[in-house]
Structure formats: C-alpha cells, structure tokens
Structure 1
Amino acid sequence: MIVRPEVFDDETPPPDLRHREHQVQQLIQLLHRARTGSAQGALITGPSGVGKTVLGKTVLEEFAREYGTRWTWIQTLGKTTGDVFRDAIRAVGGDVAGNTPNDELAGRLRQAIAGDDYLLLLDEGDDLAGTGAVGKLTAVPGVEVAVICHEPDDWLARAEAEVRQYFHGGRVALERYGVDELADILRDRAQVGLVDGAVTREQLETIADDVAGVAREGIQTLHAAAEIGVEREHSRIYDVDVDDAYERARSRIREANLSSLPFHHRVLYELIRDVGGITGREFHQRYEAIAERVYANRERMPISRRDRRNKLDKLQEYDLIERERIDHRWLYTAVDPDLAAPLDVRLAPSRIS
C-alpha cells in the first residue's frame, strides 16, 4: 500500500505550498524590500506543525536561486549568540574556530560575505528575543534576517527597540489549515506515497478535522493509518485503521520532537519524567541539586529559573509534558512516561526532601 514512505517524512518538502499563496507573496515582498536597501526583517509566526519552516525554506531557496543571493537556515534552539554567528560564518564558507572571541564574530561574518547580500532564516527563534543576537546580525552590512517563532507579540515585547523597529510590519502569520485545505494537502501526499485508491476523500477530511488543521499531525496520521492497514493485510485504509493511527502518529511526533531538542531541554524533561510528576517548586529544587554534577565538564552552564520556565513552555508546545493547577501549585507530568530523553548522565537523586 505504501509505495514511497519518504513522502511522509518531515524533511520531504511538499510539491507546492498549497493554500499558503498569500503568505508566500508576503514573504517575497519582504525579501524584495531587504534586497533593495530597506532594512526589513520577516517574522514568520504560527503554532507548531503549520508549516513555518517549510514556507521559509522554500521561499528563500527560490528567491536565492532567482537573484543569486546566498542564504542559510540555522536551527537556533539552545544556541548562544556566538553559536549562531559561527553557524552563519561557516555556512557561507568562512573559517572560524569555536573559541573565537564573540567580539570578533561580526567582523568575521562581514569578511566572509565580502559585501554580498546574505539571508539568514533563524528557526525556533523564540529564545533569541532580548539576547541581542538578531540586532548584532543585522548590524553586519548585507545581512538580512527572517525569524521563525510562535508568539510574535511576546517575541517583540522581549526584543530590543531597534529589533522591534526592524520587524515593524514584517509579520507573516500562518494559521492552522481548514478541513478542506488540509485534506487537499493529504491527498497530494497520498497520490505520491500510496497506491491508487488507498484512502478516500472522506477519510482525509476526517483526519484533517480530528487533528484540528495541524499539517504535521495530519501527514503522520495518514502515514500511520497506512502502516496499520499493511500490518492488518488490508488492501486499502479502513476507517478502523484511521481510528487507531492517531496515537501512533502523536507518539512518533513526540519522539522526533524530543530528539531534536538540545541538552538543557532534555535534562528538564527527564527531571519531570523520572519522578512521574513534580511540582514547580520541587522541580527547581531538584534542578539546583543536580546541576553542578550534570553540567560538570560541559561547555554549557546551568540555566536560570526564567530560562527553565521558557524551556518548559517549549516542552509543553512539543506535547512532551503537561501542566495542571492543583492546590495553588503547578504539577508537571510527562505525556508519555515511557519516552526517555537520550542523555549520557544520570539525574539522581530522584527526590528532594
């Protein structure tokens, strides 16, 4: 039944950006303004799974091909300002060591691009606001930036004044798809990835409705339904296969999300998962009790309470943890207690007295 499984991978680009035509034009217009000398950033916003990264990568790739502009995509989650600069320098062919002082990085980037235009797509940029990273990048002549984040108002409120001005009027907002829109997208994947007649339009609309218009979850649910159908020796996808596909798809997405997270997030996740449920106060106490040992001999340093809270938001956003208010306290639990984060260090003690 499944003829091209790679069609359902997150890394496989869609044949076209169906039902995103307006946002494509918005982003192209912002890139044109930047190219003609009007400093103008693009803030690509929206909830998880609606195609922000796909939109950014696809449009920047086409724009760069047409105008000969160099560009790169940088996953910024968990990275310092220095890390982002080094990634940008190396992506354009520049040479920079890991211990190069931060105050030399802007000059190294300017030297590497040699007066040309250079577009940076900064993914998972929620934590960049207020760090100075975006302002320092855009201060380099020729560098223009597009940032992907989830909550634009919160992001701009935390950003520096010059960064807020840089992104003024530069939002490209993506919402969840409508049922018919997502069913169209799923049909495109099915036509390439499955045998003819494997799934009905009604089933695609059911999936689109049940996942509330989140493209990533819809695509993974369709894939999981086909896998289950094959396992049951069905010649096509049955309704019962769809019914049983949702949890497999969500589990697969959670596993991929967890694997994509950097060390800090994995530590925080394991602190919660390991005990089966923990209050906010116990969580911070336990983190502070293990931090010195967990971070020993690592480049990363323990993070502040504020940074921990920001990263807990990301874990919730990724459907990895749940938060419940009980007796004036927040209780955190793992959505899937059997899903462990890959860590090379134990987090004991498991309880704080």
Structure 2
Amino acid sequence: MIQDRWVFDDEYHADIVHRDSELESLSRLLEPATRGQRAEDALIYGPSGVGKTATTRWLLRDLHHRAYIQSVAIECSNQTSHSIIHEVVAKHPNSGIVHKNQSRDDLLETFDEVVDAPCIVILDEADIIPDLDVLDDLLSIELASVIAITHQQVEWLARLDDDVEPHFPANNQIEFRKYNEAELVDILDPRVERGLVGNPIQDNQLEWIADDCDGEARWAIKTVLAAAELAVDRGHDYFHDRDVQDGFERAKHKIRKANLQSLPVTYLRLYELVRAIGPVSGEEMKAAYEAHKKEIFDGRGRGPVSWRRAWDYLSKMADYDLLEMPGETNSKVYQVVDKELEAPVEFDPAASVTKEKDLQH
C-alpha cells in the first residue's frame, strides 16, 4: 500500500499550491537579488504546518535557476547565536573548512570574504534563537539579507534591537494563513497518487482528513501516512474508517515528538517541569520557574532568563501543540498536551528540590 514514504516527508519537494499571494510578496522582496543587489529582508510568520518553510525553499530553488545568488538555510532549533553564524559560514558554497572554535569575529570576517553575490540567509524557527543580536552580525555583511521564519509576529519583532527592526517593516512581513478544506485536498491528492498504491482511499476520506486537520498541511499529510501504516498493520487492503480515525492522533503524536526533540535543552527542562507539576495556574507556574530556573539553565553558558522570557518559551511550546495555555494571561492553566510524551533530557524537578533542601541543611 505504501509505495514511497519520502512523498510524505517534510523535505519532499512538492509543487506549491494555494500560496500565490505569499509567493508574489516574497518574490518582490527577493527581486533585487536577480539584479546583483542585496535582497530585502523578510519576516514570514504563521502557525505550524502551513507551508512557510516549503514555500520559501521552493522559491529559493527557482531563484537559483534564474540568477546568480547564494543562499543558506539554517534550522535554528537547539542553536546558539555563535553556532548559527558558524553554520551559515560552513554551509556557504564558497567556504572551505570552518573550525568550530573560531571566534565570532573570525567567522564574520570569513563570511564577508566569501559573499561575492547576493546571499540570502533563511533562519527557520527564528523565534527560538536565544539572542537576536545575531541579526546585527548577519546584516553587517553588505550583500547578505535574512528571511526569518517564525510562528508569532508581534513577539518576535518586540525582541529586535532598534537598529534591526527597520529591516522588517510591515511591507516585508508575510503571513501564512491556514488552508481550507478544498486546498488541503489539492495538496493531498498528488501525494496519495505518488506515495500509495492500490487505490486505498475511499470516498470522502481525504475530505474528512482535510476537514479535521484544522488547516494544517503537515498534519493532514502525516495523517494519510499514519492511516496507511495502520491499514497495513491491520491487514486491510484499503483505508477503513477506524484507520483514518486513529491516524489523526498517531500523526499528531509523531509531530509533537519531532517538535519536542528539536527544542533546546532549556525548553526541554521547562517542558519537563510543566509535565511534572501541571495542570497549574499562572502564579504557580511562575513560582515553580523561579524555584527551578538555576537547574533549567545549568550548564548552558548563560544565566536564567526572566519570567517574561520564560513565558515566551512556554508560548513557543504551545505553538508546537506541546503545552496547553488556555485563558487570559493572568488566568492561564499550564499543562502538557500528552502526559506520556517525555522530553529527551535528564531533568527531574522533584529531585532538584530535594537536592536544594539538602544543601540548605
């Protein structure tokens, strides 16, 4: 039944559909690069699974065919500012060997030397970057521009330095909305045709998947694959309705697990804190963070962030469907979505409390 799993992978180079206005806006910002000039910077924002990264990379591939440009795509999850700059330089097509122990200044000097054409740096999951001063560094290179891909618009812009914020004016901000049912069916149809054999989809099942996946292409695509896996495991020649029904949560669990594994250690420890104590009120969550912040940031080479910044971490995990934060800001109840989903990190909030008490005595 499953002919090609790659078709259902996030990295699969599918045709981009129902993103005409977004493509037009981004093309306008990148157009100067086709004339050998620096492209304009762009902020792309919207919920998970709506094609932000896929659309950006598709357009960059098309641009490479039409003009001499350079581009580097960086996945910012679990990265420091220094490691982002290192990866930008290491991935640049003109770079030679780049050592990890090179200083930030040396890396930027190398980057400046190798950039001999418009260079577009894609910062995916840019809202996870702990220190947005890295933008100052990247934008200091004459021909370098940045496409930042985030979930939230306002929160990210509020973190920018005054000299960087003008690089991302309203006309350079592109929102990616959720898809409607018909659009999702158009996205799923070619993947089913190329990825599955034997006509396993029954009447209206794609419409069912598209309707129930809340406008998220990634969830819909993964649900088709999950339903196929379940049908195979159960010895079915086609999708039974219970394969589809069970496929929704199976796919969502896999997406949550992948999202969780992509996060930095500090996020993972904070997630484990919520998993251990939730559901709790906002005041209880704040008190728990203050009590555990030293352990959360232990060994990370920086001091604990303020509760306001920690709240941004929590909000990011809510964007990833890892945490629930319902209600108004002052009346939120914090809890994990899947209590059984454990973060891949060694952190026991209960043990850290015991250790702290022992030290006090």
Instruction: Give the TM-score taking structure 1 as reference length.
Output: 0.89
Deviation at 1:226, TM superposition (A): 1.4
Ranges in structure 1 where 5+ consecutive residues have no aligned partner: none
Deviation at 1:104, TM superposition (A): 4.5
Deviation at 1:172, TM superposition (A): 2.7
Counterparts in 2 of 1:201 and 1:65: CA distance versus 1, 3 Å = farther
Q: Which secondary structure state, in structure 2, belongs to the residue aligned with residue 220 of structure 1? A: helix
Deviates more, 1:89-98 or 1:175-184: 89-98
Q: Identify the residue that residue 63 of structure 2 maps to in structure 1.
A: 63
Q: Identify the residue that residue 138 of structure 2 maps to in structure 1.
A: 137
Contact 1:229 1:238 in 2 (8 A): yes
Q: Identify the residue that residue 25 of structure 2 maps to in structure 1.
A: 26
Q: 2:321, 2:241 → 1: CA distance?
A: 26
Counterparts in 2 of 1:143 and 1:288: CA distance versus 1, 3 Å = same
Q: 1:170, 1:258 → 2: CA distance?
A: 30
Deviation at 1:239, TM superposition (A): 2.2
Deviation at 1:325, TM superposition (A): 4.7
Q: 1:212, 1:219 → 2: CA distance?
A: 12
Contact 1:129 1:156 in 2 (8 A): no
Letter in 1 for 2:49: G
Instruction: Kindly provide the CA deviation profile for residues 138-194 of structure 1, in whole angstroms up to 9, marking residues without a partner as x.
Output: 221110111111233443344334433322322332211121110011111100111
Q: Identify the residue that residue 205 of structure 2 maps to in structure 1.
A: 203
Letter in 2 for 1:259: Q
Q: 2:331, 2:22 → 1: CA distance?
A: 41
Deviates more, 1:277-286 or 1:314-323: 277-286
Deviation at 1:323, TM superposition (A): 2.0
Q: 2:77, 2:197 → 1: CA distance?
A: 38
Deviation at 1:227, TM superposition (A): 1.6
**Is 2:311 the counterpart of 1:312?**
no
Deviation at 1:35, TM superposition (A): 4.5
Counterparts in 2 of 1:290 and 1:69: CA distance versus 1, 3 Å = same
Contact 1:286 1:351 in 2 (8 A): no
Deviation at 1:249, TM superposition (A): 1.3
Letter in 1 for 2:273: L
Counterparts in 2 of 1:86 and 1:279: CA distance versus 1, 3 Å = same
RMSD of the alignment, in Å?
Answer: 2.7
Q: Which secondary structure state, in structure 2, belongs to the residue aligned with residue 310 of structure 1? A: helix
Letter in 2 for 1:166: H
Q: 1:191, 1:300 → 2: CA distance?
A: 50
Aligned runs of 1:1-353 on 2, under 5 Å? 1-14=1-14, 16-36=15-35, 37=37, 40-92=40-92, 93=95, 95-113=97-115, 115-127=116-128, 131-168=132-169, 169-200=171-202, 202-293=204-295, 295-325=297-327, 329-349=331-351
Contact 2:44 2:149 in 1 (8 A): yes
Contact 2:121 2:147 in 1 (8 A): yes
Deviates more, 1:162-171 or 1:267-276: 162-171
Q: 1:320, 1:176 → 2: CA distance?
A: 19
Q: 2:110, 2:81 → 1: CA distance?
A: 14
Q: 2:346, 2:250 → 1: CA distance?
A: 27
Counterparts in 2 of 1:10 and 1:320: CA distance versus 1, 3 Å = same
Counterparts in 2 of 1:59 and 1:201: CA distance versus 1, 3 Å = farther
Q: 1:325, 1:177 → 2: CA distance?
A: 26
Counterparts in 2 of 1:325 and 1:22: CA distance versus 1, 3 Å = closer
Ranges in structure 2 where 5+ consecutive residues have no aligned partner: none
Counterparts in 2 of 1:330 and 1:138: CA distance versus 1, 3 Å = same
Q: How many residues align?
A: 351
Deviation at 1:314, TM superposition (A): 0.8
Letter in 1 for 2:222: Q
Deviates more, 1:71-80 or 1:33-42: 33-42
Instruction: Kindly provide the CA deviation profile for residues 213-263 of structure 1, in whole angstroms up to 9, marking residues without a partner as x.
Output: 210111111111112222222211122321222111111111111111111
Deviates more, 1:239-248 or 1:310-319: 239-248
Instruction: Give the TM-score taking structure 2 as reference length.
Output: 0.87
Instruction: Kindly provide the CA deviation profile for residues 236-293 of structure 1, in whole angstroms up to 9, marking residues without a partner as x.
Output: 1122321222111111111111111111110110001123433334434434444444
Instruction: Kindly provide the CA deviation profile for residues 91-149 of structure 1, in whole angstroms up to 9, marking residues without a partner as x.
Output: 11255544444445432320232x33211001111255983322331221110111111
Deviation at 1:331, TM superposition (A): 2.5
Counterparts in 2 of 1:100 and 1:306: CA distance versus 1, 3 Å = farther
Q: Which secondary structure state, in structure 1, belongs to the residue aligned with residue 318 of structure 2? A: helix
